[in-house]
Amino acid sequence: MKKSIYLSSIEPIIKKAGQAALKKWYKFDRQNSILKGEKDLVTKVDIETEKYLIKEIKKSFPSHGFLAEESGKQNFSASHVWFIDPIDGTTNFTIHNPLWSISIALAKDKDIIFGAIYYPFLDELFWAEKGKGAYLNQKKINLDKKLNPKKQIHTYCHGSGLKAKKQAIKYYKLQKLNSLDCRQLGSAAIECSYVACGRVDSLVIPGVNSWDVAAGALIAKEAGAKVLDFSGKNWSLNSQDILLCHPKLKKDILSVLQKL
């Protein structure tokens, strides 16, 4: 398979950054994390990883802009903008939980055309290009058309606002009581990837940040998942919330979301 310019450029960068962060994760002391705001954590690893990614991407795409979690916007009015979450799942990282990842997406005129999510602990690279399918490492992934109604496993996450947290708690309760399971894995990017490859059946996030899910939304969509906002419209970078799910679950989950 011939690699595109985007995959050829991003794959070595994201893997090098991920493996460097993984070495630091093994020895990380939670007391070295920093509070940004009242309830959000950041580490030096987040900041260092983000700086490295931006620096390396600029070498290949000097005219492109960026929206990164820690440093914000750079040249954001450019036609091509990279969305970067250097460590998605920082809290997991700080408590020595391996469920954290690096997420990078590229939008052209606000339409996502490339996304990559790297899970260093398992050396798994999920990636997709618009219209060309989704992949886990070099294997194409597609959602199984079959769905066992008795084995549904849902995931959820939430933004930092109080409203989003209350919605997430209510959603968790409804799904926990009426499905096989409902869990918060702690990395939205990993949860998106898991929907894409069928490891879980859905992900719901009220109060979502674009850098958390830009890559995952494309990967899930290219794998055959529905990617919507809570009203049932197609998700976009301006959406305030997101639902990713197996197509056969769309109607049922939207009905649950109406109760929030």
Domain ranges of the chain: 5-141, 153-257
What pLDDT sits at residue 39? 62
Closest-CA residue to 210 (of 184, 239, 230)? 239
| Domain 153-257 in this protein, CATH class | alpha beta
What pLDDT sits at residue 97? 96
User: Model confidence over 106-147: pLDDT tens digits?
Assistant: 999 999 999 999 999 999 999 999 999 999 999 999 998 778
Pair of tokens at residue 191: 């949860």
What pLDDT sits at residue 232? 97
Q: Is the pLDDT of residue 69 over 90?
A: yes
d(CA 239, CA 209): 9
Residue 241 β-bridge partners = 206
User: Model confidence over 150-176: pLDDT tens digits?
Assistant: 889 999 999 989 999 999 999 999 999
What pLDDT sits at residue 186? 96
Q: Tell me the angle at which helices 44-60 and 5-26 cross, rounded to the nearest 10 degrees.
A: 160
Average the pLDDT over 30-56 and give the result.
87
Pair of tokens at residue 226: 């529905």
The fraction of the chain above a pLDDT of 90, given in percent, is 88
C-alpha count within 13 angstroms, C-beta hemisphere, residue 24: 20
Residues written for the chain? 260
Assess contact for 70 and 60: CB atoms under 8 A.
no
Could you please state the CATH topology (level 3) that the domain comprising 5-141 is classified under.
Fructose-1,6-Bisphosphatase; Chain A, domain 1 (3.30.540)
Q: What is the pTM of this model?
A: 0.95
Closest-CA residue to 93 (of 119, 69, 70)? 119
What pLDDT sits at residue 260? 87
Q: φ and ψ at 186, to 5 degrees? A: 95, 0
User: Model confidence over 51-66: pLDDT tens digits?
Assistant: 999 999 999 999 999 9
